[in-house]
Amino acid sequence: MDAPRATAHTCAVSHPQILLLENIHPSARHAYEDAGWPVEAIGRGLGEGELIDALGALEPSLPLVLGIRSKSRVTARVLEAVPQLAVIGAYCIGTDQIDLPAARRQGVAVFNAPFSSTRSVAELVVGEVIMLSRQIFARSQAAHAGRWAKSAEGSHEVRGKTLGLVGYGHIGSQVSVLAEALGMRVQYFDVVSKLPLGNATACASLDELLETSDFVSLHVPDTSGTRQMIGETEIARMKPGAHLLNLSRGQVVDLEALRGAVTDGKLAGAAIDVYPREPAKAGDAFDTPLRGLPSVILTPHIGGSTLEAQANIGREVSSAVTAFLAGGRSTGCVNLPQLDAPPLKQGSRIINIHRNVPGVLSEINRVVAQAAVNIDRQHLATLDEVGMLILDVSVDRDAPAAQDLATAIAGLETSIRTRIQTAESTDARVPQTTVGRVG
Ligand code: NAI
């Protein structure tokens, strides 16, 4: 399908409009209000038709920002129906609820919050390592049942024990720092070469890590390379009496194999937060082969579920959205090319999202040359069928030459969205003028 053509027109824009759904943390609203952007909020998720109606009720000449969590679905139909939608903030980690290829074709930027819950997950891992080591779950269950299970049998300090981290990314490396503070020996295995923090050491292979760790904690993404990466064979390699923790993704561990290893005593216990099939919402029924095992801590995918993480998510996504709208910086964008550029100090900045076909840049530069405008800086990046250009020019945004240039670029056959902005130094985060398809 051809990308939608930009309609060349100029309209003065004072600010984008924000619509936040699903009770997104107030920190998100505050970030937009600090930028002087008005915020509407609806406290629940919206279906396709409701979403089109809600977005359609906003001012059609302004670029729109939609903030959602996991319940609202932004389909190709929504994107077609609301062309002024410029940015979607997914105030969560997953972006499956958004048709990302359709958004890319329309030049709609999508941002999420991949890092905001890192600390929350890391703290739970460390807490569970201690709880497993002291058999807290089983002893607490006994106490609740009216039994006094006082014994040192099978209980250990974690100091001096070896923690093996599979995946040394954001979460794995945080766990590494916290665990070392408890006196644990930390080692890790990652498919990418990673700088060890503190005294942590890298293992040459997953097998080496499994064979030498008292606790194995998984912090890998869900990919074809990690699905079922811990099954019967891998568990057999683990030390007798070791513990397994999975707070990453449900497909990574074969839960039947884990159940077998716990019931026959090969492993002393496990802590599991994520499952191959998880209920859709709080309160739904839940089942797993691990139910009923007192040495296994089961939690309902709450690794990142803290109020602090929610507040961080609000700030993280909103600041990425404002950086994109104010300066064209798309760092962290999940569906458009990633571009960074220093703040504009003078002149004006044209931000152009276009179809990634041969000759686009030379065509844009031909238009710039024809307008006799001087280019101060140019940044280009492409991703699949879309490219993004940041073009800083020496003429002031309000000068006819700048307006004409932006209009000419917006009118090119390849352009999807084009806008022109003033120097951020004078007006922190507010796009003033939009040319072509808004946003
Ligand atoms: P990250 O992307 O920062 O780190 C993942 C690391 O795993 C990377 O260093 C990568 O090179 C490594 N890796 C990939 N494949 C591997 C393999 N086959 N073997 C060894 N290492 C491999 O991700 P982050 O933020 O640390 O998250 C880790 C996991 O935690 C993800 O699956 C994420 O979805 C999950 N998560 C779970 C939460 C919960 O509520 N339980 C909350 C937040 C994240």
Q: How far apart are CA 169 and CA 172, in angstroms?
A: 5
Asked if residue 152 and residue 75 are part of one domain, the reply reads no
Asked if residue 291 and residue 252 are part of one domain, the reply reads yes
Q: How far is the CA of 185 from the centre of ligand 1 (A)?
A: 21
pLDDT digits (tens, 9 = 90+) for 416-432: 999 888 765 434 344 55
Can you give the pLDDT at residue 423?
A: 67
Can you give the pLDDT at residue 280?
A: 78
Q: Tell me what the mean pLDDT of segment 163-175 comes to.
A: 98
Structural domain includes residue 4 = no
Q: Tell me what the mean pLDDT of segment 387-401 comes to.
A: 88
- Catalytic residue, from 249, 354, 397, 429: name it: 249
Higher pLDDT, 429 or 409: 409
Asked if residue 132 and residue 275 are part of one domain, the reply reads yes
pLDDT higher than 60, residue 2: no
Judge if the beta carbon of residue 301 lies within 6 A of ligand 1.
yes
pLDDT digits (tens, 9 = 90+) for 117-126: 999 999 999 9
326, 429 in Cβ contact below 8 A? yes
Distances (CA, A) of 380 to 269, 280, 338, 339, 377: 51, 40, 9, 7, 10
Among the listed ranges 1-15, 78-92, 267-281, which one has the minimum average pLDDT value? 1-15
User: Which residue from 38, 118, 97 is spatially nearest to 334, judged by alpha carbons?
Assistant: 97
The residue out of 258, 274, 298 marking a domain boundary is 298
- Catalytic residue, from 80, 278, 308, 385: name it: 278
Among the listed ranges 15-19, 142-146, 170-174, 411-415, which one has the minimum average pLDDT value? 15-19
Q: How far apart are CA 203 and CA 191, in angstroms?
A: 10
Can you give the pLDDT at residue 201?
A: 98
pLDDT digits (tens, 9 = 90+) for 235-246: 999 999 999 999
Asked if residue 124 and residue 109 are part of one domain, the reply reads no
Asked if residue 373 and residue 293 are part of one domain, the reply reads no
User: Which residue from 328, 279, 269 is spatially nearest to 300, judged by alpha carbons?
Assistant: 279
Question: Could you tell me the pLDDT band of residue 346, with boundaries at 50, 70 and 90?
Answer: confident
Judge if the beta carbon of residue 191 lies within 6 A of ligand 1.
yes
Asked if residue 249 and residue 157 are part of one domain, the reply reads yes
pLDDT higher than 50, residue 3: no
Can you give the pLDDT at residue 120?
A: 97
pLDDT digits (tens, 9 = 90+) for 328-342: 999 999 999 999 999
Which ligand 1 atom sits nearest the alpha carbon of residue 302? 40
Q: How far apart are CA 73 and CA 76, in angstroms?
A: 10
Asked if residue 158 and residue 293 are part of one domain, the reply reads yes
- Catalytic residue, from 15, 77, 134, 301: name it: 301
pLDDT digits (tens, 9 = 90+) for 206-226: 999 999 999 999 999 999 999
pLDDT higher than 90, residue 113: yes
Asked if residue 233 and residue 151 are part of one domain, the reply reads yes
Question: Could you tell me the pLDDT band of residue 434, with boundaries at 50, 70 and 90?
Answer: low
Give the CATH number of the domain where residue 69 resides. 3.40.50.720
Q: How far is the CA of 252 from the centre of ligand 1 (A)?
A: 11
Asked if residue 252 and residue 372 are part of one domain, the reply reads no
Nearest CA owner, ligand 1 atom 8: 169
Q: How far apart are CA 437 and CA 407, in angstroms?
A: 10
Structural domain includes residue 3 = no
The answer to whether residue 219 is catalytic is: no
Percent of the chain's residues with pLDDT above 70: 93
Asked if residue 141 and residue 282 are part of one domain, the reply reads yes
The residue out of 267, 298, 329 marking a domain boundary is 298
Judge if the beta carbon of residue 220 lies within 6 A of ligand 1.
yes
The residue out of 268, 298, 328 marking a domain boundary is 298
Query: End-to-end alpha-carbon separation of the chain, Å?
Result: 21
Nearest CA owner, ligand 1 atom 14: 220
pLDDT higher than 90, residue 362: yes
Average per-residue pLDDT for the chain: 91
Can you give the pLDDT at residue 430?
A: 46
**Domain total of the chain:** 2
Q: How far apart are CA 285 and CA 91, in angstroms?
A: 26
User: Which residue from 346, 387, 438, 436 is spatially nearest to 63, judged by alpha carbons?
Assistant: 438
Percent of the chain's residues with pLDDT above 90: 80
Asked if residue 278 and residue 130 are part of one domain, the reply reads yes
**Domain span including residue 89:** 10-115+307-435
Can you give the pLDDT at residue 437?
A: 56
The answer to whether residue 278 is catalytic is: yes
Q: How far apart are CA 422 and CA 327, in angstroms?
A: 9
pLDDT higher than 70, residue 436: no
Can you give the pLDDT at residue 326?
A: 84
Q: How far is the CA of 171 from the centre of ligand 1 (A)?
A: 7
Can you give the pLDDT at residue 122?
A: 98
Question: Could you tell me the pLDDT band of residue 282, with boundaries at 50, 70 and 90?
Answer: confident
pLDDT digits (tens, 9 = 90+) for 62-93: 889 999 998 899 999 999 999 999 999 999 98
Structural domain includes residue 200 = yes
Q: How far is the CA of 221 from the centre of ligand 1 (A)?
A: 4
pLDDT higher than 80, residue 433: no
pLDDT digits (tens, 9 = 90+) for 176-192: 999 999 999 999 999 99
